[in-house]
Structure 1
Amino acid sequence: MAAAAVGIAAAVTTAFVLLGDSDGPTAPRALTSDEVDRLAITRFLNYEAGGRAVRITVPNPAGGLVVTGSIDYRTHTGYGVVRGTGRDTSSDGLIQWTATTVLVHPMTDPPAAAPASPPASGWHSRPLQTSGMTLDSSLAIALRLGNDRPDNSVLLSQSGASWVGEDQVRGRRTDIMNGPDAGGEARTSGTVRYWIDSGGTMHRVQAGIASESRPVVFDFDTQKYAPVKPVPGVTPAP
């Protein structure tokens, strides 16, 4: 099974800024056996942890969206706060999602963090769109960054996965690796990119999406993980 992955579909200047403290990408080279092994287990480690705190930065011509919350990788359910930036605040509120369904709870002034127990009312449900909607594509990819088994290291090596540089992410040294697509029905575009530490833990992922010229950024552990509780009266569809 292909590893979860991300692509950078941005200009060189944008890519340099997103790489933070690093010296920027270098010429890609083949992964060492250790790097392949770390790339192969990174999604499994998310699953093994049970869940991860995540901040998803979703580009949008009107300004973009930021989803701050947690993903339970055992049930494949995400929950958090969504805020618009720039001119795009129409989606502000709480959000919970699975691979098939998005529940939104509109709020004019959402809190910094989602309440531990989702409100019992005020939710609107819709199917998760697998194409043509950058937010939904981002949510779908976020769920697929956890898997119940390691990826096949031989297939990763044959897929053209590569090492492209080093970076510091919130004080942790990471290797930056390109890998294959893991968007499922929500396809990513271009190459894929992970920031992975020496133990295989995923700290950042970038994914290019066909409907948007800039990449979606997934930053892990930007806040404390909070267990994901389902919306009252709603049974999450896997």
Structure 2
Amino acid sequence: MATFLVASSGSDPTGPRELTSDQAGRLAATRFLNYQAGGRAVTINVPGTDGGLTITGSLDYRGKIGYGAVRGTGRDTSSDGLIQWTATTVFVHPMANTPAKAPARPPGSGWYRRPLQRQGSSLDSSLAIALKLGSDRPDNAELLPQNGAAWVGQDRLDGHRVDIMTGPSAGPSARATSGPAGDVRYWIGSDGTMYRVRAGVASAPEPVVIDFDTQKYVPVRPVPGATPTR
């Protein structure tokens, strides 16, 4: 069973209830649709005890690489700048005046490279979760209910009517927030499009929230030294 993830809403849920066959099919296909699309524009809101971080950028689900601008929320600007990441490596480019959107062509120098931390960092856990929201094949719809997936309620995001569904654990960096199936929620449209994901992470008191299509998608150009997976 492939790793699964999800997010939270302001609407009052009426579930949880067992998934219908249509809902299970959409949940099973949603990560594959991200992969088929090639990439998605995202805003990742990363929680933290000393204030959060907001990453605005793009995820290339075929290349398995993300890129964006990082800005602190309720904290100092020491973490502001540009960021690019793969499943194993994080590249950061500090900036005194970070733009609202990352430049389409990353700077050719000034990058610092480090391994992506598997535990203890809400930022790195959020980056890893975001990359896992694309898959080169659909999940098994019949197995989803057996692994804790359920329908929670409905919502409307940017004019889209969506179903909110819980999914199985997001892996070792995820933290159960309301039971085994409660640490990940997906906001999914009638055609299976993923619009939001919320996932608890072990290193933060609040969940990470990932919103899709928050701006125009810009193809990701690897920084010098980054090796995307094709």
**Under TM normalisation by the shorter chain, which class is it?**
over 0.9
Pairing partner for 2:195 from 203, 216, 221: 203
Q: Distance in 1 between matches of 2:155 and 2:3?
A: 20
- CA offsets, 1:83-126, max 9 Å, x none? 00112421100000000000000001101111111000000000
Counterpart residue number, 1:123: 111
Counterpart residue number, 1:152: 140
Q: Distance in 1 between matches of 2:228 and 2:122?
A: 21
Describe the SS at the equivalent of 1:115.
Answer: coil
Pairing partner for 1:46 from 17, 28, 34: 34
Number of aligned residue pairs: 224
Counterpart residue number, 2:67: 79
How far the C-alpha of 1:3 sits from its partner, in A, is 5.2
- CA offsets, 1:146-182, max 9 Å, x none? 0000001111021121111100111100000001123
Consecutive unaligned residues in structure 1, runs of 5 or more: 8-17
Q: Distance in 2 between matches of 1:87 and 1:206?
A: 22
Contact 1:101–1:237, Cα closer than 8 Å, also in 2: no
The residue correspondences of 1:216-227 to structure 2 (distance < 5 A) are 216-227=208-219
Structure 2 vs 1, CA of residues 174 and 198 (structure 1 numbering), >3 Å: closer, same or farther?
same
Consecutive unaligned residues in structure 2, runs of 5 or more: none
Contact 1:51–1:72, Cα closer than 8 Å, also in 2: yes
- CA offsets, 1:4-34, max 9 Å, x none? 2136xxxxxxxxxx524x3x12231000000
The residue correspondences of 1:1-238 to structure 2 (distance < 5 A) are 1-2=1-2, 4-6=4-6, 19-20=9-10, 22=11, 24-183=12-171, 185-190=172-177, 191=182, 192-231=184-223, 233-236=224-227, 238=229
Counterpart residue number, 1:11: none
TM-score by length of 1: 0.90
User: Cα RMSD between the aligned structures?
Assistant: 1.4
Q: Distance in 2 between matches of 1:168 and 1:141?
A: 23
